[in-house]
Amino acid sequence: MSEEKMTEHDEIRELLSLAPAGALDAKEDQRVSAHLRTCPACAAELGSWQAIGAGLRRLPTPQAPAALVARTIARAQMRFAEESDRRSERKVLALVIVFSWVFVALSWPLAQLLGHGWLSLLGLGFEQGWKNFAVFTAFCWIAGAAAAILLAMRRDRERRLA
């Protein structure tokens, strides 16, 4: 046999174990069929693989114990619930952050308008207004951080209890 034929023959022999299971694609199946017409050794080997496959199909399929299945399902449901909780916690945290930004952006001009009238919106007294705005913003962010910490503490407490 030439080296090229040997390589083709070896490739077909590697595919023979997959043929009885129907695990070959159409091109591979055609290659194996064409080779089997000219190679009695591979045809005999395929017969052996078919006998092994038939014997395996006759074996009983092991079944997992019902308790194991129930525990596995319960664990999967618990993990899905935890992931759902994490997603909702991220949404709540994002909502707290957005609320904090919107609250600062909308309430400061409103407070200036109500406290000092229309002239405060024109920027008169900017130095004192800027300091007040910085303190107000810091307060809002501290309140947002406190809310996030409280949410995290609640989540940890609930996980310990579960």
More confident residue, 140 or 56: 56
Q: How many Å apart are CA 49 and CA 41, to the nearest integer?
A: 13
Q: How many Å apart are CA 20 and CA 57, to the nearest integer?
A: 11
Q: Contact 16/45 with Cβ under 8 angstroms?
A: yes
Q: For the whole prediction, is pTM greater than 0.95?
A: no
Q: What is the pLDDT of residues 57-102, one digit of tens each?
A: 888 888 899 999 999 999 999 999 888 888 887 888 788 778 877 8
Q: How many residues are given for the chain?
A: 162
Q: Contact 156/97 with Cβ under 8 angstroms?
A: no
Whether residue 22 is predicted with pLDDT greater than 90 in this model: the reply is no
Q: For residue 70, what pLDDT is reported?
A: 95
Q: Contact 40/47 with Cβ under 8 angstroms?
A: no
Across 9-15, average pLDDT: 87
Q: For residue 129, what pLDDT is reported?
A: 63
Burial class of residue 69 in the structure, from the number of CB atoms within 10 Å of its CB (0-12 exposed, 13-18 middle, 19+ buried): exposed
Whether residue 2 is predicted with pLDDT greater than 70 in this model: the reply is no
Whether residue 49 is predicted with pLDDT greater than 60 in this model: the reply is yes
Which residues are within 8 A (CB) of 89 and not within 5 positions of it... i.e. 6 or more apart?
Answer: 151, 155
Q: For residue 153, what pLDDT is reported?
A: 80
Domain boundaries, the chain: 3-58, 66-161
Q: For residue 72, what pLDDT is reported?
A: 95
Q: What is the pLDDT of residues 103-160, one digit of tens each?
A: 777 776 776 666 666 555 555 555 566 677 777 778 877 877 787 788 778 777 777 7
- Backbone torsions φ then ψ of 61, nearest 5 degrees: -85, 125
Query: If you ran DSSP here, which 8-state letter would residue 24 be given?
Result: S
